[in-house]
Amino acid sequence: MRSDNIKKGLQRAPHRSLLRACGLTDDDFEKPFIGIANSFTDIVPGHIHLRELSEAVKIGISQSGGVPFEFNTMAICDGMAMNHEGMNYSLASREIIADTVESMAQAHSLDGLVLIPTCDKVVPGMLMASARLDIPAIVLTGGPMVPGTFKGKSVDLINVFEGIGAVSSGKMSLEELDELEKCACPGAGSCAGLFTANTMACLTEAIGMSLPGCATAHAVSSKKMRLGRLSGARIVEMVNENLIPSKIMTQKSFANAVAVDLALGGSTNTALHLPAIASELENKGVKVDLELFDVMSKNIPHITSISPSGEHMMIDLDKAGGIPAVLKTLESKINTEVITCNGKKLKDNIKNITLTDRSIIRSLDKPVHKEGGIAILKGNLAPNGSVVKQGAVDKNMLTHQGPGRIFNSENECVEAIFNNEIEDGDVIVIRYEGPRGGPGMREMLNPTSAIAGRELKSVALITDGRFSGGTRGPCIGHVSPEAMSNGPLAALQDGDLIKIDIPQRSLEVELSPQEIKKRMKNAVKPERNVKGLLARYQKLASSADKGAILR
C-alpha cells in the first residue's frame, strides 16, 4: 500500500508517532488510509451540508476496514461571486482545488480518496486531481437543492437574477422580487436547475466516477446519506482491487459523458471542464476537445427540458430515473462496456432500468431537439471555436444578424443595458473577458439575465468570457482566440455587421481579412492591474478551447 511510506518499518517510527497522536491504534497500521477531500464551507449553499455527508462516508470506510482522514478544499459560490471582482477568482479556483487534493494525497501517501464536491469548479477540480494522482478515487457529489415555489411555480436562483431586469423594465414590482428572493433558494444543495454544478455532477456519474443515482440524489435526502456510506465502503474495495481513475475515465467514458451532456442540454462550461480533466490523462491517450462536442452534437438528440432551457427541475429528473435512465435511453449511442467505480460495466448498471416518465426524459425518436444541447461555432470571429447552448435558444434566433455593440468589459455592458441603450436586433460583444483578459474568464449571468428580464428577445450576446449554466438565449461564449491574445474580437467596432448561424455552426463578421488584420494592429488592449493569484493565472492560462488550464 502507498501508505506504507508513512507507517511501516524502523525509519517510520516518527511518522507512526504522529499518527498515534491522531488516535490511531496498532490495528489501524494494517489498514488502507483513505483521504476524504471535503469542500465544506458555511457560506456556499451547495456545501453547507457536507460535514454530515462526510460523517456518513467515514462510517462506510471504517465499517469496511479502512481508516478515514478528512481534509478540506476551498469552494466559491459563483452566484455570490457574480458581477463583481470575485468572479475573476472562480475559474482560477479550479486549479487550486486540484493542487490541494494532489498535495494532501501525495504528502500523506493516501491509498485512496473519496471526493466530496458540489459546486461549479469544485467538481472538475477534484476530478482533475484524481486523474493526475491516478490512485483509487470515488466522487460523492453533494446534490441539488430543492426548488422554491413562487406563485405556484417552481423557481430557482436564475429567476431572481432575471427578476432584476423585470423590475427595471416595470414587469415586476419590488415587493414581488422580495418575495421571490426569499423563496427561490430554500436550503442546502446546488441550484435547482441544470446549471454547471448539477451538469458536472451528472457527467461525473456518466463517466463512471460516482455511484449510480448519485448526481440527482438531492442534498437533503436520505438517499444522499446512504450513498455516502456506500461510497465510503466502496473506496476500500477499490483500493483492494486497484481500480484507478485511468481505468474508469477512458476515451470511451469521456465520449459517454459528452453524449449525456448533449442529451441533457447542460451548461456550456462543460466545454471547459471536460477538456481540462482529460488533459490530466493525455499520457493515457485521452483527448477531449471542441471537435468532439461538435461531431457528437450532430448525432445525439437533446432529450430533456430542464431549467434554464425548460420548466423541469433536477428533482423531476431524479424522479424520472436520473442519469441511469438517461444512459438507458442513450444505450444505442454510447459505449456500455466501460468500467465504472462500482466495478461493474455500464451495461450491467443500466440493465434493469425502467423509464418512468417520458415527458421528462424523452425517447430518441421524440426528442426536444434533433441535435444535442451544445453547438460549436467557428468563423472569422472564432477561428478556434466558440460555444453556444443551442438547446436554450429560441428557434427564431438560431440565425441572426445585426449591428455589433462592442464593450471592453462586462460592467460596461450591464450599464448600457440598464440605461436602455440596447435595442432589439443588436449583437452585444463583450471582449477582454477571456482566461487572460478577465483575467479568469468571468461568467456573464448579469447581462444575460438583464436581457431576459427586460424581454429583449432578438438580442444576441458574444463573448470571449463564459456564461453561467443558468444562461438561456442566443449567448455565444468561449470565443477563441480571446481578444487579449489577439483574437479577432479585438478588431470589432460598433456597427459592424455580425452574422450568427447556429445550424451551420458559423460566427462571422462582415469584414475582409485585410480589414481585420489592419484593425488588429491598432487595437488598444485594456490594462488589468492584477496581482497574486490572478497575475499568475493571467500569465499561465491556456485559451478556452484548451480548457483554460494552466501551462
Which residues are known to be catalytic?
A: 468
**DSSP for residue 254:** H
Residue 385: CB atoms within 10 A of its CB come to 24
Beta-bridged to residue 443, according to DSSP, are 466
- Cα distance between the two ends of the chain: 32
Q: How far from chain centre, in Å, is Cα 486?
A: 27
Note whether 22 and 68 are within 8 A (CB). no
Q: Is 35 helix (H, G, I), strand (E, B) or coil?
A: strand
Type of residue numbered 134: D
- β-partners of residue 369 are 302
Q: Which residue has the cell 448525432?
A: 299
- Collapsing DSSP to helix, strand or coil, 304 comes out as coil
For 135, 243, 338, the CA distances from 344, given in Å and listed in that order, are: 18, 11, 8
Phi-psi region of 107 (alpha: psi -120 to 50; beta: other; left: phi over 0): alpha
- What H or E segment, with its residue span, contains residue 411? helix 410-418
Beta-carbon count within 10 A of 429 CB: 27
The SS3 assignment for 38 reads strand
Task: Compute the residue count for the chain.
Answer: 551
For 175-221, give the secondary structure using H, E and C: HHHHHHHHHCCCCCCECCCCCHHHHHHHHHHHHCCCCCCCCCCCCCC
- The angle at the Cα of 463, spanning 189 to 123, to the nearest 5 degrees, equals 25
Distance from C-alpha of 487 to C-alpha of 508, rounded to nearest angstrom: 13
Q: Judge contact between 36 and 59, C-beta under 8 A.
A: no
Residue 16 CB neighbour total at 10 angstroms: 17
Strand 427-430 to strand 460-463: parallel, antiparallel, or no bridges (unpaired)? parallel
| Residue 399 β-bridge partners | 501
Read off the amino acid at residue 178.
D
Q: What angle do CA 473, 175, 147 make, to 5 degrees?
A: 50
Q: What is the 3-state secondary structure (H, E, C) of 60-123?
A: HHHHCCCEEEEEECCCCCHHHHCCCHHHHHHHHHHHHHHHHHHHHHHHCCCCEEEEECCCCCHH
